[in-house]
Amino acid sequence: MLQTPLTGKKILLGITGGIAAYKTPNLVRLLKKAGADVQVVCTPSALDLVAKNSLAVVSERPVLVDFFDASGKWNEHVQWGLWADLILLAPLTANSLAKLAYGICDNFLMATVLSARCEVWLAPAMDLDMFTHPTTLLNLKRVADLGYQIIEPETGSLASGLSGKGRLPEPETLAQIVETVFQSPTPEAPQPQGEVEAVTPETSFYRGKHVLVTAGATKEAIDPVRFISNHSSGKMGIAIAEALVQAGAIVHLVYGNVTTPLPDYCYLYPVESALDMLNQCLKLFPNMDAAWMVAAVADYRVENIAREKIKKSEDHLTLHLVKNPDILKTLGELKTPNQKIMGFALETENEEFHALEKLQKKNADAIVLNSLKNENVGFGKNTNEVTVFLHNGDKLPLPANSKTHIAQELLSLTSQCFQV
C-alpha cells in the first residue's frame, strides 16, 4: 500500500449541526483513502443534516453521538480524546464555537474535545452575517488564544442565498490541510492569531487603501495557436485579493491565465502577455498605496511571433527567446516612500539566498518565498507553505495551510511594512 503522511494516523472528525455537514462523508472517504483511521463524533443536531449510517459505512466505525450507546454501554470521552492524533471539527457552527470558547461541555463531542491532548483544528462554517457578528469574531479570537487552530471559511454562495464568507472548504482542501499537518518538519501548527486579527477589517491598515494585485500566469505567443506559459493557477493571488477586500482595501486585480473564480468587489484588468501586464501595472501603480505582485510572469518571450501556425515538418524546432521586462523591479524603481511593494519568489535551490537577493535588488518591502520541495502545496493546489522576508531583516515562516489562511496571515505579517 502506498504510504502517505496520514498512513496509520488516528483522526477524530467532529461534525456539528451546520448545513455543510453534507460534505463530511466525502471528507471521511478521502481521509480513509490516504490511510487514516477515522472516528466520527456527531452532535445530535448534525444527524438532522447527514445520515449516521453513511458516516458509519465510509469510516468503517460506529458513529459516536451520546455518552451511552443503544445497549446502555458507556462511551468514554476521555479515551477518545487521548486516542486521536488530530481532531478536526468540520463544520463548526457558531453555537459549538461559542461552547468551545467558554468550555461548555453539554454533549459528547464537546467533552471529547476538552479531553484531547492532540492538536484541535476548527473549520467554522456559517452564514455571512453570523460569521461577521461581533460575538463570533470575539469567540474566534478567544479560541485562537486558547490554542485551537483555525481553518478559514471560503467565500461564495451560502445556504441563505447570500454570497460571502462562511462556506466550509471543499473536502479535498480539508483533507490536504490535515495531511500537511503531519508533513510539517516541526510539531508546530500555523499560529492563528494573525488570521483572527485579519477577520476584523475595521482594525486593518489596508482599509481605504488602493492596492494593486497581480495573479495568474502570463502567456507568451509562439504563433496564433501556441504559447509559452507555466503551471500557475492564480489561486494565491486571488486569495490575497479576497483578503484585501475583506480588510477594506480598494483592490485593482491585474490577472493573466487563472483557473479559479475571480473575486467580487475588485476592479478587474485581464491581460495575456508579460508586456501586457507590465503596461497595465504602469498605468495603475502611480495611484496605488501598495502592490502585491503574485503573478507568475514568464521570464522570456518569443522574439518573432509567427503570423501563421507553424507546421510540423522538421524533427527539431528552434525558438529564439528574448528576456521580458522585470515587472517587480520596474515598479520597485518607480515607487515613492509612501508606496509599499510585496513580491513573490519561486525557487528550487539556494532558496533563501535568492529570495533575499530579490528583496534587495528589486527594492521590495517584502518577498514571499514559495518552495517546490513540498509537492503537496503550491501550483494548482488549495494549500501553500511560504516564508516571508521583510526589508527590516525579519524571516517569518508560515507552515502549510489553505491559501485563504496564508493570505490572511500575509496581510497581518506585512503590517510592519506600513508602520515604518
Active site residues: 230
In whole angstroms, give the CA distance from residue 57 to residue 141: 36
User: For residue 282, what are the contacts with CB-CB under 8 A and spacing of at least 6?
Assistant: 330, 331, 334
Q: What residues form DSSP beta bridges with 157?
A: 163
**Which residue, 133, 56, 58, is CA-closest to 98?**
133
In whole angstroms, give the CA distance from residue 290 to residue 212: 6
**Which residue, 231, 229, 265, 269, is CA-closest to 253?**
269
Q: What are phi and psi of 83, to 5 degrees?
A: -65, -40
Q: How many CA atoms lie within 13 A of 404 on its CB side?
A: 25
In whole angstroms, give the CA distance from residue 270 to residue 254: 6
The secondary element (H helix, E strand) that includes residue 212 is strand 210-215
The secondary element (H helix, E strand) that includes residue 321 is strand 321-323
Give residue 190's identity as a one-letter amino acid code.
P
Q: What residues form DSSP beta bridges with 212?
A: 252, 291
Q: What is the CA radius of gyration of the chain?
A: 23
DSSP of 353-371: HHHHHHHHHTT-SEEEEEE
| Set of cell numbers at residue 389 | 522576508
In whole angstroms, give the CA distance from residue 60 to residue 215: 42
| 16, 109 contact by CB (below 8 A) | yes
In whole angstroms, give the CA distance from residue 148 to residue 193: 10
Q: CB neighbours (10 Å) of residue 195?
A: 26
Total residues belonging to the chain: 420
| Set of cell numbers at residue 270 | 485581464
| 25, 54 contact by CB (below 8 A) | yes
Match 510585496 to its residue by C-alpha cell: 342
